[in-house]
Amino acid sequence: MSAIDSFLVTLNSILWHNSILYLLLGTGILFTVWSGFSQYRALTHGFHVLRGVYDEPDDPGAINHFQALSAALSATVGLGNIGGVALAISLGGPGAVFWMWIVGFFGMAIKLTEVTLSMLYRNTDNSDNPHGGPMWVVSKALANRSPKLARLGKWIGALFCVTALVSTATGGNMFQAWNVGVITEEYFGIPSIATGIVLAIIIGMVIIGGIKRIGAVAGRLVPIMLALYLLAGIYVLLVNWSEIPGMFALILTSAFSQTEATGAFVGGTMGYAFLFGMKRALFSNEAGQGTSPMAHSAAKTDEPVREGIVAGLEPFIDTIVVCTVTALVILSTGIWNRSAEALLSPSVRLEQVADDAWTIKKTQAPSRTNGGWNDGDGLYVIVRAHENPQSGNNLHRLNGVVSVIDGVESITWNTLVTDATAKLKGPEIFASYVGATLTAKAFDTVAPGLGKWLVTLA
């Protein structure tokens, strides 16, 4: 298992290198200018296309525009705008939300362009079941440019297929399943492995039916899921209405300055707010990833740009609308900089276990302010050590996990690697809510049990 983790960490450092993120953002700006700010067309003409105003029964395709959009959204809604936003705020602070908006806006132009190209070069030999995607674009486009480039196009197309498989297996499936697994284990005590098996069976039954079944299922479930989530989010925001103006101000100021440590939040710099916001937005809306064009290529239309305009709505719905609702729920409820759940005993100290390693010996879990601890609960304390480039100060999280044996609650602590003398910032112990769990807890602060069911289903 450690070998797999090491491989994924290495792969992640390559695929999510900062230079790739800057390249994608630059591409979005370029496509925006070239297309004459096509985002406007997506937000106006796109809704007319979705309503089927221009549909023709004889056009090639397997699914309608709405089903294609729903199929593409099913891979993004939940992936980044529920769990991803929580991660971005936890690590980069409220300022990350602003940069998610920026990337979402330019991502609309990327999505419109890549889907339009995919529609131009899709294979319609079987008009009832066309195929398309970046692999078809690069293969056909290079072959049309010069027969000598045909082989190169096929190799690049094959390379894309391999990377797409890795991406969908890890980000598209593992991250989604992990989010659901964490939620179900936190709230229902169901082991994550069991949740993963159930998800694999259900998803397999849908995928085996091909794009028509995927489109039909997504066309029914995605709108319901989105409507329920947005209605619940609006309810929470109405309850916390007085906090909303301050949250927008906090997002804007934090986007261009350092966010100081407060409560469970250890602090965040402008640079990391930008990076985490950009990463989560691109991961959420999948602009430039090449997966969305494969779904849209099955749409029933003979106008390539028409489907591209529909696809341009995806980053708007996913990143601008749903991500914003999630962010405001997290910020307005105060779950992002929540108070401590418990306090360490005054006798507990950090101990140096190696030249550059510090930890806390296994301790008995102190009483929790809200109920008791469960086996496997994650938590952390804040430690002063070396300068932390992410937080802009010398604060770090030292994570631990609760174990309950014969009714005795104890905490096993991780090790902090640092060349400085480590000291506890204070006795406060904070519950560790990762990804979608943080979002669920935010909903629960307003209506207990709302996040438990809403986020699990969404």
pLDDT, tens digit, 9 for 90 and up, residues 249-267: 999 999 999 999 999 999 9
* Sequence-distant contacts of 189-195: CB under 8 A, at least 24 apart: 189/374
387 three-class SS: strand
326-352 residue pLDDT tens = 999 999 999 999 999 999 999 899 999
| pTM for this model (two decimals) | 0.89
Query: For residue 125, what pLDDT is reported?
Result: 83
Mean pLDDT, all residues of the chain: 88
Phi and psi, residue 24, nearest 5°: -65, -40
**293 Cβ neighbours under 8 A, 6+ residues apart:** 114, 115, 117, 118, 119, 132, 133, 134, 137, 311
Phi and psi, residue 41, nearest 5°: -65, -40
Same structural domain, 179 and 299: yes
Q: Tokens 């994924």: give the residue.
A: 8
In a domain, 337, yes or no: no
Same structural domain, 292 and 199: yes
Cα Rg of the chain, angstroms? 24
Same structural domain, 170 and 275: yes
Same structural domain, 261 and 383: no
pLDDT of 79 above 70:
no
- What domain range is 358 assigned to? 342-432
CA dist., res. 310 & res. 308, Å (int): 5
In a domain, 454, yes or no: no
Same structural domain, 106 and 222: yes
Instruction: List beta partners, residue 351.
Output: 359
Which has the closest alpha carbon to 349: 358, 360, 340?
Answer: 360
Better-scored residue on pLDDT, 305 or 76: 305
pLDDT of 63 above 90:
no
In a domain, 439, yes or no: no
Same structural domain, 241 and 388: no
Final residue of a structural domain among 298, 332, 366 = 332
pLDDT of 456 above 70:
yes
Number of structural domains, the chain? 2
In a domain, 207, yes or no: yes
In this structure, is the dihedral angle defined by the CA atoms of residues 448, 453, 455 and 456, taken in order, positive or negative? positive
Same structural domain, 219 and 309: yes
Amino acid letter, residue 79? L
Whole-angstrom CA distances from 264 to 179, 197, 393, 416 are 21, 34, 15, 18
Query: For residue 8, what pLDDT is reported?
Result: 67
110-161 residue pLDDT tens = 999 999 999 999 988 887 888 888 999 999 999 988 888 989 999 999 999 9
Q: Tokens 């398309």: give the residue.
A: 132
Same structural domain, 53 and 134: yes
Same structural domain, 59 and 153: yes
In a domain, 10, yes or no: no
Helices 304-311 and 39-50 cross at an angle (nearest 10°) of 110
Query: For residue 397, what pLDDT is reported?
Result: 95
Q: What percent of the chain is predicted at pLDDT more than 90?
A: 44
**DSSP 8-state assignment for residue 431:** E
Same structural domain, 206 and 273: yes
15-45 residue pLDDT tens = 677 788 888 889 999 999 999 999 998 888 8
DSSP run (H or E) holding 405? strand 393-405
Same structural domain, 387 and 323: no
pLDDT of 1 above 60:
no
In a domain, 139, yes or no: yes
In a domain, 147, yes or no: yes
How many degrees, rounded to 5, is the angle at CA 193 between CA 189 and CA 195?
A: 65
Query: For residue 372, what pLDDT is reported?
Result: 83
Determine contact, residues 275/363, Cβ cutoff 8 Å.
Answer: no
Same structural domain, 377 and 288: no
Average pLDDT (284-290) is 79
In a domain, 440, yes or no: no
Final residue of a structural domain among 311, 332, 353 = 332
Task: Place 221 in a pLDDT band, splitting at 50, 70 and 90.
Answer: confident
Final residue of a structural domain among 332, 367, 382 = 332
pLDDT of 443 above 60:
yes
pLDDT of 318 above 60:
yes
